[in-house]
Structure formats: structure tokens, C-alpha cells
């Protein structure tokens, strides 16, 4: 908040801060209303929010899924919901832009909490989803109060520019930076990019939101792979203005006293060391060629490519880009001695990387060279990326090869879609997810956590009426690039209206492709992996992208031999990217350019294998993403916390679903124990003659009293009671006592390579799912249809969510309302 306020204050904005206990739902909406009242037509306005978000899946209520931001004091209001939905923010923004079109919204929040690869990163979202009925009721109340919910989509407002920390359903993160300040990764990156924009303006160059956000996204991706910041609205608008960038790929240039050339363009405009420019006159006559040597955020310095500067070179000129150098990824080397010096020299000569400077905000990886015992370790913030190598010429060469693979893969993760004449205009759809019991379970485009051995599918569809060609590549955790659709090396052809599912066979149906963990990578932390989808309107030779552990990318000589004058922009760009070559401009000689698009599907691959998943369904399921149950490497396990879990009230509004007056309530509580398997307690209570509207006499029914470790899980069922049916605890005791529980929960052999804390957490996760599934099966067999009322998992990292749930009132689930509480005892 302070960094953004300082930056906007320097630009002349009047800052109105709403934070702490003033940033309640009423406080934020009231401040927005006052802003709409006070603003004038020519004013520039910024709405900035940094905090947590969440979502509610309201499709079953006949509404689109709703996202919302979390104000101060969330969960303490008595009206059932006190978040601020995207619907309300959209309506307020529409009212604001009706007064002044110069509106910028900056949202550093997300709506899905998942684990990160880096224990320093914390998701900017609540862990527990909100019941759909609560949000649906809130929206109906807004409509009754006169809110125009037809203006629900902020990204559809053509006047505002919206800067978002991540894409829909992705996870945005915050962390504590080197200065000890807790900040959003996006906020910090955007402020740094805007500072570069200020420097560029001072030098006479103005950059649009498109270029500023590209710089911010590059840094965000380096710190939090899978979080893709993006801009919505008109990306070519200048910051906080209505004017648009008029940059024509020409830079102003001036001659320095020492003969070098200063270009008024730096990192912000995409200038990289090694780029080639032609210096031209106002009449477009070429004076000489120069090559960029050093780059800052706003300016760069170049020298004449060969020979001495020509005589009579004017003081001021224009510079036109003629050769684009591949961006190099920063690598840090620790160590001293001959081997460390040789490593630095080898990396400095490699085409895809550069040695990191002391002030580099993020690096691709770190190489540690120790003289004793003479080892080379390749690491990132989490730990070792591969096994150690000997500090020998062979070890240095192997390490440079591994770094080059990581760098090539990182470059492909930022590969853009075609623009201008190369923009693909034919509509298409890319969908992916895991395969669960032969059925597709769709996953978000970024931020999902997948597990070793888990099957996935990718569905490719041509939604247009012209043929399209698809390529699917896997960018693995070690940097390997695998062409998955390699049966069609020049592109998988799909006619208009047709689709193809990778992982589906006519003989076996949807079985998926199983994810695997690389043998040489320590299995102690998750690693980023991506699926890269390229779509084009013509066949292309993209074989250059393939690189495996045993075979790197093509060398530069081989690439030069394979490219022809008719190679498209797409082919040339990808071949040269993999070889670490610069790209001469222009490269395409086609009468009709190839149009293409690129889709990135980012996820974390966990070394733990897929475990049993719960098949029982519940009216309200507030479990956090299961990845949050697995600890980060090196994070100490918390000690036992004595707690009591009580069911305070339960109201049966209508008894129609139970078809009778006799009702039983079954509760199952599970928590961690000294071993790998969970401790559990089951409780059953029975009530006779229950009528509509009855409040059951629970008297704060004690469901669990004892130590809680790692997690505290609760499952509630409501059923029609049948005579002589056993208590749930008796049924579970009989069933679980006769089975190898651990083997039923998870394939333990698949965990042999996993770290001990991962082994324990995954075994417990699978065992928990197995117990809940068995409990549901036993109940269904004993009493017929049983209604899963509620399911949650309270984590030790969040203090087991001590207190009342909900904080006030009751939680409604169709024909039932209830509350429970967790107490520390």
C-alpha cells in the first residue's frame, strides 16, 4: 500500500487510503461512492486493492461463478456475506467511467489458494471456498436493492484499464522481500516497472501499459511461476492517460562524446544487449549499424557493429531495429577458485544465459561450486534442481547444458502469440485437466497442483470454419521439451468444428497421459511444469522445440542450415530461440504470413503420487485445495494442539428429503497422529418425530476432544434413521480393523523416492479420503440415501480456525441450517 501510494503521489494523485479497520465492506463501498461523487470529467482515477480474494461456485444456483475481494473484518457480519463481489465492483466502475473515462483499476488479489513451490510465497486468497447459496442470496438481495447486475463484467468496460495480478482462477502470491517488507509480488513488480517508465519519460520516451505490464509479468513469472499478470482494456493507453502510445519501432538516438550511441529506449521497450539497430536519417537513409552493449530500464548504449563510427555522424538520429537478440536469463554463481572461474566463463559464453549482477531481482537458478569436496550444485530458491556434479570439465559442461535447457524452457514459457499480420483470427478452444475414474476434471490454465503418476488430458478444438494446426509440448521440470503430438510433426490438423483429445483412445476411452518425475531431481519439493500449445493456420516445422535430457536443442549451424528464405516468422522465431540465436528482421517472405497463437497451461508437479480422492459429495464443501495439506520442504511440523469441536445447532427446515420423522446425525472427525495414519472419532446421535422447522436438541454436542495435529477434518451426514442400524463408530471399527489401511489409501511403493515429510502427509491425505469414502458407503448401506451435509479441513497453519463457524448466525445448506465451533482447551 505504501509503495503504491508513494508512486501515485509523485504523479500528482490525491491519495485516499482505506486500510485496516476502515477497509470494511461498508468502508470500501462508501469510499468508492464518495469518489464517484467527487470526481470530475477530466480527472484521472486509480482504484487499487491489495488483499485476499475468494470465489463461490454458484452455477448450481443458476448464476455464473462469482469472485470477490475480502475486506477487513470479513466473516463477522450478521447478514451472511460481507465480501465485495466482482459484480459490485463492475457496477461501481461503470458508474465511475460514466463520469470520467480515465480510470485505472489495479487488483493485487486472487481467488484460488494453492501451494507454491517456494515456501516464502503465500497465496493472496482465502483457503476455504464460500457456500454458493450465501453468495447467491447476496446477489438476489443486491438486485432487489436496485443494483444493475447486467454490468457485471469489469473486463467488458471499454473505458477502464484493469491491471490484474493473475488470470482468472490462477493464484497470486505475496512474500517478504529482501528489505523485510511484506508485499504482493505483482505490486512490487508493477511499481518497479512504473519507476522505469518514469525514467523513460524523463529521457523523452513514453511507454504504454502493454510494455509496462510485460516488464512486470516477466518479474512476476521469475518469482512465482504460473502467476501471469495481465492487462485488460486498451493495453496501448499511456499510464493514467487517455492518449495511446505512438511508438513505431524507431528509437531516438544521439551520439555521445566517446563515439558510442545512446538509444532512448531500454528494458521497458524490449531492448536487450546484442540487439542490432540501423541508424537512419529523417529521409530513412542508413548511416551505419550499431550493436547494443548495455541496457537500463529507460536507455541503452550501443557501439558501431564493425569498424569506427563514420565521419560526419550527426548528433541526433533515429534507430530502427534490424536484429533481435534472444533475452538471456540471469544465473548466479557462488564460489571461488579455478573451477568457479571456469564455470563463470562457460556460462558467460553460453547463448541463453548471462551472469547475474548483484542487484538482479530474480535469477533463473544458482550454481554453487565448492572446492571441498569439489562439487557443483545447481539450485533455485527451493533446493537442488538436479543431483550434484563433480567440479571437473565434464561436470561444468553438464551443468551448463542443464542451465541452457532451463533457460530455453523459461523462454518458451513467455512465448507470445502472433500480433498484427500474424494474429490468429480463427477461434479455437484449449482445455485441460486430470482424468478421474475415466471422467475429465477440468483444471485452470495456471496454478493447479498435479501429482506424479496422475493422468491428464488436453482437449483441442477448432471453433472456426477454416483448418487449423495444433502442436502440444510439455516443458518439464528439468527444462526438457517433449513434443506430445509428435505423430503430426507439422501440426495436428483439425477441420472447422472438429476436436481432438490427447489422452483419449477409441479402444480404451479417456485414460489420460501420466505425469512422471525426473529421476535425477530430488523428490522433496514441487517444481513448475507447463504445457505449451501452439495453434497456426498453416503447417509448420516446429521440430526445433524438442529437447530431452539426453539431447539438447539444435546447434546454431544446424538451425541456419534448416531455415530457408520462406521460413515463417513462427518457424524462424522458435528455431532461433532454441539455438540461442538472434533473429534478423524481417524474416518472413510469404505472400500471406502465418497466423498463430500460443497458450500456456502452467502447473506445479508434486513428487508425491496421486492418492485416493473422496467420492462422497456434500451440500457444502469448504475444504481448501489439497495441495495445502502437504508441507513445504524444511518446514517444521507443529506440535499437537488440544482442541474441542462441538456441533452447536442444527435446524431441519423441511423434512421432505428424509421422508420421515426419525433422523440421525453422523459426524466424522479426523486429525494427524504420531504415525502416518490419521486418528479419527465418529459420533452418531438420533432424534425421533422431527418436524419441519425443528431445532434439534444437540446441547453443543461434543464431536471431538483431544490433540489436533496438522489438520482437523470434519464430515457431517444427515440421514433417515432406521431401526437396528449401527452407530457409525461401530461400523468403521469393524470395517477398518479388517483391512491394510495404509495400502488401501495409497500406493506406498510409489512413495519410495519422496521425502519423509511428503510421505507422511500424502499417506495421511489418502487415508483421510479412504476413511470418508468408507464412512459414506457404510452409511448408505445401513440407512439408504444419506445426505452429505458439510465437509471441511481446518489446517494447523491457520490455527485450526478457532471460533464459531459461521462467526454469527447459522450456515444454510438447502433444507438444513447449522453451526459448529472449534475451541482450544
Ordered by where they begin, the domains of the chain are 2-232 (3.40.50.1460), 250-324 (2.40.10.340), 329-412 (3.40.50), 420-605 (no CATH), 612-824 (no CATH)
Report the range of poorest mean pLDDT among 211-215, 533-537, 630-634, 649-653. Answer: 630-634
Q: Is the dihedral of CA 551, 556, 561, 565 positive or negative?
A: positive
Q: What are phi and psi of 326, to 5 degrees?
A: -65, 130
Report the range of poorest mean pLDDT among 241-255, 602-616, 752-766. Answer: 752-766
Model confidence at 573, pLDDT cuts 50, 70, 90, reads low
Span 799-816, average pLDDT: 90
Q: Which element (helix H / strand E) includes 251?
A: strand 250-255
Q: Which of 58, 80, 55, 79 is nearest to 69 (CA)?
A: 55
Whether 155 shows a pLDDT value over 60: the answer reads no
| Per-residue pLDDT reduced to its tens digit, 187-199 | 999 999 999 999 8
| Per-residue pLDDT reduced to its tens digit, 363-407 | 899 999 998 788 999 998 878 999 899 999 999 999 999 999 999
Q: Give the C-alpha separation, 267 to 271, whole Å.
A: 5
Q: Give the C-alpha separation, 758 to 630, whole Å.
A: 6
Spatial neighbors of 680 by CB under 8 A, at least 6 apart, are: 668, 669, 670, 671, 732, 771
Span 608-633, average pLDDT: 84
pLDDT reported for residue 560: 45
Q: Give the C-alpha separation, 666 to 601, whole Å.
A: 41
Span 48-70, average pLDDT: 79
Pair type for strands 316-324 and 583-584: antiparallel
Q: Give the C-alpha separation, 513 to 184, whole Å.
A: 35
Q: Give the C-alpha separation, 190 to 106, whole Å.
A: 10
Whether 733 shows a pLDDT value over 70: the answer reads yes
Model confidence at 558, pLDDT cuts 50, 70, 90, reads very low
Model confidence at 87, pLDDT cuts 50, 70, 90, reads confident
**pTM attached to this predicted model:** 0.81
pLDDT reported for residue 267: 86
Q: Which of 516, 522, 551 is nearest to 385 (CA)?
A: 522
| Per-residue pLDDT reduced to its tens digit, 664-718 | 999 999 998 766 668 899 999 999 989 899 999 998 999 999 999 989 999 999 9
pLDDT reported for residue 156: 64
| Per-residue pLDDT reduced to its tens digit, 15-58 | 999 999 999 999 999 999 999 999 999 999 999 999 999 877 66
Q: In what order do the strands lie in the sheet with 84-85?
A: 53-56, 66-69, 84-85
Q: Give the C-alpha separation, 125 to 171, whole Å.
A: 8
Whether 612 shows a pLDDT value over 80: the answer reads no
Question: Highest-confidence range of 159-163, 457-461, 692-696, by mean pLDDT?
Answer: 457-461
Contact between 701 and 661 (Cβ < 8 Å): no
Q: Give the C-alpha separation, 392 to 333, whole Å.
A: 16
| Per-residue pLDDT reduced to its tens digit, 405-423 | 999 899 899 888 998 888 9
pLDDT reported for residue 309: 82
Neighbouring C-alpha atoms within 13 Å toward the C-beta of 202 = 10
pLDDT reported for residue 770: 87
Report the range of poorest mean pLDDT among 522-536, 560-574, 623-637. Answer: 560-574
Contact between 234 and 162 (Cβ < 8 Å): no
Partners of 459 in beta bridges: 431, 501
Burial 303-331 (b: 16+ CB within 10 A, else e): bbeeeebeeeeeeebbbbbbbbbbbbbbb
Amino acid at each position: 500500500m505504501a509503495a503504491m501510494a508513494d508512486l501515485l503521489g509523485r504523479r500528482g494523485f490525491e491519495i485516499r487510503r482505506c486500510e485496516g479497520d476502515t477497509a470494511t465492506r461498508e468502508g470500501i463501498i462508501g469510499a468508492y461512492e464518495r469518489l464517484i461523487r467527487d470526481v470530475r470529467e477530466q480527472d484521472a482515477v486509480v482504484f487499487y486493492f491489495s488483499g485476499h480474494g475468494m470465489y463461490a461456485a454458484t452455477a448450481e444456483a443458476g448464476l455464473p461463478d462469482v469472485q470477490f475481494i475480502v475486506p477487513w473484518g470479513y466473516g463477522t457480519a450478521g447478514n451472511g456475506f460481507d465480501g465485495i463481489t466482482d459484480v459490485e465492483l463492475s457496477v461501481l466502475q461503470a458508474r465511475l467511467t460514466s463520469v470520467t473515462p480515465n480510470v485505472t483499476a489495479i487488483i493485487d488479489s486472487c481467488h484460488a489458494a494453492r501451494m507454491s513451490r517456494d515456501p516464502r510465497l503465500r497465496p493472496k486468497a482465502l483457503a476455504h471456498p464460500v457456500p454458493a447459496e450465501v453468495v447467491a442470496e447476496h446477489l438476489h438481495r443486491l438486485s432487489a436493492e436496485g443494483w444493475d447486475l447486467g454490468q457485471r463484467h469489469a473486463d467488458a468496460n471499454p473505458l477502464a484499464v484493469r491491471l490484474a495480478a493473475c488470470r482468472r482462477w490462477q493464484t497470486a502470491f505475496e512474500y517478504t522481500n529482501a528489505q523485510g517488507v511484506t508485499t504482493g509480488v505483482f505490486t512490487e513488480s508493477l511499481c518497479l516497472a512504473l519507476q522505469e517508465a518514469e525514467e523513460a519519460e524523463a529521457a523523452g520516451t513514453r511507454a504504454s501499459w502493454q510494455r509496462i505490464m510485460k516488464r512486470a509479468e516477466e518479474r512476476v513469472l521469475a518469482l512465482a511461476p504460473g502467476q501471469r499478470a495481465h492487462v485488460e482494456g486498451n493495453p496501448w493507453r499511456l499510464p493514467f492517460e487517455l492518449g495511446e502510445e505512438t511508438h513505431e519501432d524507431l528509437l531516438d538516438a544521439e551520439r555521445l562524446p566517446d563515439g558510442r550511441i545512446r538509444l532512448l529506449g531500454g528494458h521497458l521497450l524490449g531492448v536487450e544487449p546484442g540487439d542490432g539497430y540501423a541508424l537512419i536519417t529523417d529521409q530513412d537513409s542508413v548511416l551505419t549499424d550499431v550493436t547494443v552493449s548495455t541496457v537500463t530500464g529507460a536507455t541503452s548504449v550501443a557501439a558501431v557493429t564493425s569498424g569506427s563510427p563514420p565521419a560526419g555522424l550527426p548528433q541526433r538520429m533515429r534507430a530502427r531495429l534490424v536484429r533481435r537478440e534472444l533475452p538471456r536469463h540471469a544465473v548466479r554463481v557462488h564460489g571461488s577458485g579455478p573451477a568457479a572461474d571456469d564455470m563463470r566463463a562457460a556460462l558467460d559464453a553460453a547463448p541463453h544465459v548471462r551472469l547475474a549482477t548483484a542487484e538482479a531481482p530474480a535469477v533463473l537458478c544458482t550454481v554453487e561450486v565448492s572446492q571441498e569436496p569439489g562439487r557443483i550444485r545447481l539450485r533455485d530458491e527451493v533446493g537442488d534442481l538436479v543431483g550434484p556434479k563433480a567440479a571437473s570439465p565434464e561436470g561444468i559442461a553438464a551443468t551448463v547444458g542443464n542451465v541452457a535447457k532451463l533457460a530455453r524452457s523459461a523462454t518458451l514459457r513467455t512465448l507470445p502469440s502472433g500480433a498484427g499480420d500474424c494474429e490468429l483470427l480463427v477461434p479455437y478452444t484449449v482445455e485441460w485437466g486430470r482424468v478421474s475414474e475415466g471422467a475429465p476434471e477440468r483444471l485452470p490454465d495456471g496454478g493447479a497442483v498435479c501429482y506424479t503418476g496422475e493422468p491428464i488430458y488436453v482437449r483441442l478444438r477448432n471453433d472456426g470454419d477454416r483448418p487449423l494446426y495444433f502442436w502440444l509440448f510439455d516443458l518439464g521440470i528439468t527444462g526438457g521439451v517433449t513434443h506430445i503430438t509428435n505423430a503430426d510433426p507439422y501440426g495436428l490438423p483439425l477441420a472447422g468444428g472438429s476436436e481432438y483429445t490427447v489422452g483419449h483412445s477409441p479402444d480404451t476411452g479417456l485414460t489420460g497421459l501420466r505425469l512422471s518425475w525426473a529421476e535425477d531431481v530430488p523428490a522433496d519439493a514441487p517444481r513448475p511444469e507447463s504445457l505449451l500449445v501452439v495453434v497456426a493456420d498453416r503447417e509448420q516445422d516446429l521440430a526445433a522445440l524438442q529437447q530431452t535430457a539426453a539431447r539438447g536443442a539444435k546447434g546454431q549451424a544446424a538451425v541456419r542450415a534448416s531455415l530457408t528464405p520462406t521460413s515463417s516468422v513462427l518457424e524462424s522465431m522458435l528455431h532461433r530461440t532454441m539455438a540461442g540465436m538472434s533473429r534478423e528482421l524481417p524474416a518472413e517472405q510469404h505472400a500471406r504470413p502465418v497466423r498463430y497463437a500460443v497458450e500456456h497451461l502452467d502447473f506445479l508437479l508434486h513428487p508425491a503420487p496421486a492418492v485416493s480422492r473422496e467420492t462422497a459429495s456434500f451440500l457444502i464443501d469448504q475444504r481448501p485445495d489439497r495441495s495445502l495439506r502437504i508441507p513445504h520442504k524444511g518446514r517444521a511440523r507443529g506440535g499437537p494442539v488440544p482442541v474441542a469441536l462441538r456441533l452447536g445447532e442444527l435446524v431441519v427446515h423441511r423434512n421432505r428429503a428424509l421422508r420421515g420423522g426419525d433422523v440421525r446425525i453422523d459426524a466424522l472427525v479426523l486429525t494427524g497422529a504420531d504415525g502416518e495414519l490419521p486418528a479419527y472419532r465418529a459420533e452418531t446421535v438420533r432424534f425421533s418425530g422431527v418436524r419441519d422447522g425443528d431445532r434439534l436438541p444437540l446441547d453443543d454436542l461434543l464431536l471431538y476432544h483431544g490433540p489436533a495435529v496438522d489438520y482437523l477434518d470434519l464430515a457431517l451426514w444427515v440421514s433417515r434413521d432406521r431401526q437396528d442400524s449401527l452407530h457409525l463408530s461401530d461400523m468403521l471399527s469393524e470395517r477398518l480393523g479388517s483391512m491394510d489401511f495404509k495400502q488401501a489409501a495409497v500406493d506406498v511403493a510409489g512413495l519410495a523416492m519422496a521425502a519423509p515429510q511428503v510421505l507422511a502427509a500424502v499417506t495421511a491425505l489418502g487415508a483421510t479420503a479412504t476413511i470418508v469414502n468408507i464412512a459414506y458407503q457404510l452409511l448408505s448401506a445401513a440407512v439408504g440415501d444419506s445426505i452429505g451435509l458439510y465437509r471441511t479441513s481446518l489446517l494447523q497453519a491457520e490455527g485450526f480456525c478457532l471460533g464459531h463457524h459461521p462467526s454469527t448466525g447459522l450456515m444454510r445448506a438447502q433444507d438444513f441450517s447449522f453451526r459448529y465451533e472449534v475451541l482450544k482447551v
